[in-house]
Amino acid sequence: MRASRLLSVLLLLQARGRMTAQELADELEVSVRTIYRDVDSLSAAGVPVYADRGPAGGYQLLAGYRTQLTGMTTAEAESLFLSGMPDQAKQLGLGEVLAAAQLKLMAALPPELRARAESIRERFLLDAPGWFREDESAPHLAAVAGAVWEQRRIAVRYRRWGNSEVERVLEPLGLVLKNATWYLVASADSEPRTYRVSRILALEPTDEKFERPGDFDLAKHWEMSAERVQSTLWKGQATVRLSPQGRKMAFLLGPVVGRALRDHTPEPDDDGWVTVTMPIETNLHALHAILQLGPDAEVLEPEELREMFVQAAADLARLYT
């Protein structure tokens, strides 16, 4: 652990130039006293690190000195694909590995490219989770990820929709992050299926390895699965009038409905209202979704859904009088 930290101090000074003891301590999540000891150890080992005193001072390496200890481990190289998603890397158990890989990569770059990379990191950030929701708790995510890497079967107890529980032995083929939710694509009985990782109630790793199908493509499989899910979910349509404010609030109805409104919105009438046709899952789902828009939405069709809104409005009126 200490040897790894000493190397990190060395690479940080090589990649960033002068750094104060406090900056090094914050970066490595240790005390300033620990940094003092680490710098003394580096000096004793012959590393030309020296300190400048004063408000603008700090530690730095002798000009021209560069270490060649920047070779990445296999795990560090594999973690770089998550470089834009540090929180998700931590969930997979790769947080420290990713940080080490990024540090080694920065240290290996020539000064002009290093400055360019730092500039990009300061200006661009990928924040994967959507608004208005928190990441799901998935306590078995790291174990699932390990099984994916190692191609080992896992025995799980899984809660299906409807809250029934089943036990399965799965061959994990890949993980997908969709709207802050992790999904496992795994083979059961030689057929790839999708499992929500947060619904895994118990997991037992096995020593049994499996052969990954040579023709399996995770991206293509996920695209086809998403299309199937969407075609089964959106079974009907509703004709709805929206006020100008209702159009602004249409994002509350979800991305599929929002895209339909953007692609097929007619010209507004004299009062600014528009009549649109939107996809719906069921009448009950549409009732609860469109009620979020309050008086800025009026359902015209289907008649059954309109009657449900009449009843809901009457119930609300009785509740608040």
Quote the pLDDT of residue 161.
79
pLDDT of residue 10: 75
For 255-281, the pLDDT digits (tens) are: 777 777 777 777 888 888 988 888 888
Reading the block at residue 265, the tokens are 């919105």
Cα 318–chain centre separation: 44
Question: Using an 8 Å Cβ cutoff, are 264 and 276 in contact?
Answer: yes
Instruction: Return the pLDDT at 72.
Output: 47
pLDDT < 50 positions in the chain: 69-70, 72, 74, 76-84, 120, 124, 126
Residues 6+ apart with CB under 8 A from 235: 280, 281, 282
Distance CA(166)–CA(306), nearest Å, equals 40
User: Looking at the whole model, is its pTM more than 0.85?
Assistant: no
| Predicted pLDDT of residue 308 | 94
Question: 138-153 pLDDT, tens per residue?
Answer: 888 888 888 888 899 9
Question: At 37, which amino acid appears?
Answer: R
3-state secondary structure the chain: CHHHHHHHHHHHHHHHCCECHHHHHHHHCCCHHHHHHHHHHHHHCCCCEEEECCCCCEEEECCCCCCCCCCCCHHHHHHHHHCCCHHHHHHCCCHHHHHHHHHHHHHHCCHHHHHHHHHHHHHCCCCCCCCCCCCCCCCCHHHHHHHHHHCEEEEEEEECCCCCEEEEEEEEEEEEEECCEEEEEEEECCEEEEEEHHHEEEEEEEEEECCCCCCCCHHHHHHHHHHHHHHHHCCEEEEEEECHHHHHCHHHHCHHHHHHHHHCCCCCCCCCCEEEEEEECCHHHHHHHHHHHHHHEEEEECHHHHHHHHHHHHHHHHHHC
For 88, the token pair is 């998700």
